[in-house]
């Protein structure tokens, strides 16, 4: 009888062990492998952080694209204005299309350095003769050059402009062209006055740097 009871106890202990093992395996399946609510990588909070980072990356890329587009627009405008100024220079100088950019710059500098209308007219007459000879050598055709009387009228008009543009003697030909273009582009008297005021301030600073004086009026 005692042996029978001992056997019954051993069998009951074995059944309890088997039941406990099954419960442990079921719990492992439910809570393991990152599938349960307490798993680390797949939590709703982790997904929200990832979504926010993706949104920030998209916004940053969009801002970078907009900045790139603005820089490209600025460069296109600058190149367009530069090309327009170069074209105006070629058109203004007799035979400019037959000259190199360096020759046109030297021509402008020489014209800028001459003080009187008579000196400028004489220089332009000599230049016209040189350009006609170059055109003949290259088989090109140039329009008839302006006569001395016409050149004199142009130079007198230039002298009046020289008196009207503040700091004229401190400006390069390219700066003069840019200033004229700004004044032409100004649509109202207020805009033109603003251009003049900014130009005047710049010329006064340049005069101080070079140790020269400009009139106050």
pLDDT recorded at residue 136: 95
For the stretch 179-217, pLDDT in tens is 989 999 999 999 999 999 999 999 999 999 988 888 776
Q: Which residues contact 139 (CB under 8 A, 6 or more apart)?
A: none
Q: 155: closest CA among 119, 104, 105, 103?
A: 119
Q: How far apart are CA 60 and CA 121, in angstroms?
A: 60
Q: How far apart are CA 159 and CA 153, in angstroms?
A: 10
Q: How far apart are CA 10 and CA 79, in angstroms?
A: 98
pTM: 0.45
pLDDT recorded at residue 170: 86
Average pLDDT over residues 9-21: 48
Q: Determine the 3-state secondary structure of 93 from DSSP.
A: coil
Average pLDDT over residues 165-175: 84
Q: Which sign does the torsion angle of CA 42, 46, 48, 49 carry?
A: negative
Which H helix or E strand runs over 136?
helix 117-138
pLDDT recorded at residue 118: 92
Top-confidence range, 9-23, 109-123, 189-203: 189-203
Name which residue leads in pLDDT, 103 or 43.
103
Q: 151: closest CA among 169, 125, 133?
A: 125
pLDDT recorded at residue 46: 66
Confidence band, pLDDT 50/70/90 cuts, at residue 138: very high
Average pLDDT over residues 125-141: 95
Q: Are 109 and 98 contacting, i.e. CB atoms less than 8 angstroms apart? A: no
Q: Determine the 3-state secondary structure of 190 from DSSP.
A: helix
Q: How far apart are CA 82 and CA 61, in angstroms?
A: 32
16 pLDDT higher than 60: no
Residue ranges of the alpha helices (H) in 37-116? 44-92, 101-113
Task: To the nearest 10°, report the CA torsion of 172, 175, 181, 185.
Answer: -150
What are the DSSP E strand ranges found in the chain?
Answer: none
Average pLDDT over residues 137-166: 89
pLDDT recorded at residue 37: 44
pLDDT recorded at residue 44: 60
Q: Determine the 3-state secondary structure of 166 from DSSP.
A: coil
Distance of CA 165 to the CA centre of its chain: 29
Percent of the chain with pLDDT over 70: 69
pLDDT recorded at residue 43: 56
Q: How far apart are CA 88 and CA 96, in angstroms?
A: 10
For the stretch 35-92, pLDDT in tens is 444 444 455 666 788 888 888 888 888 888 888 777 776 666 554 544 444 444 445 7
């Amino acid at each position: 009888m005692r042996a029978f009871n001992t056997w019954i106890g051993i069998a009951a202990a074995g059944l309890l062990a088997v039941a406990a093992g099954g419960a442990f395996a079921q719990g492992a399946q439910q809570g393991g492998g990152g599938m349960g609510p307490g798993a680390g990588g797949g939590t709703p909070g982790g997904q929200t952080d990832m979504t926010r980072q993706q949104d920030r990356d998209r916004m940053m890329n969009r801002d970078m694209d907009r900045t790139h587009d603005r820089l490209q627009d600025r460069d296109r405008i600058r190149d367009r204005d530069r090309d327009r100024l170069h074209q105006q220079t070629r058109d203004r100088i007799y035979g400019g299309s037959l000259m190199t950019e360096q020759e046109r710059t030297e021509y402008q500098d020489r014209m800028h350095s001459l003080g009187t209308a008579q000196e400028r007219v004489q220089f332009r007459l000599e230049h016209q003769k040189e350009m006609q000879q170059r055109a003949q050598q290259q088989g090109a055709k140039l329009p008839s050059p302006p006569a001395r009387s016409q050149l004199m009228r142009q130079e007198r008009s230039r002298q009046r402009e020289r008196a009207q543009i503040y700091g004229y003697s401190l400006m390069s030909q390219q700066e003069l062209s840019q200033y004229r273009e700004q004044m032409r582009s100004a649509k109202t008297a207020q805009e033109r006055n603003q251009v003049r005021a900014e130009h005047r301030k710049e010329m006064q600073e340049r005069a101080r740097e070079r140790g020269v004086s400009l009139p106050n009026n």
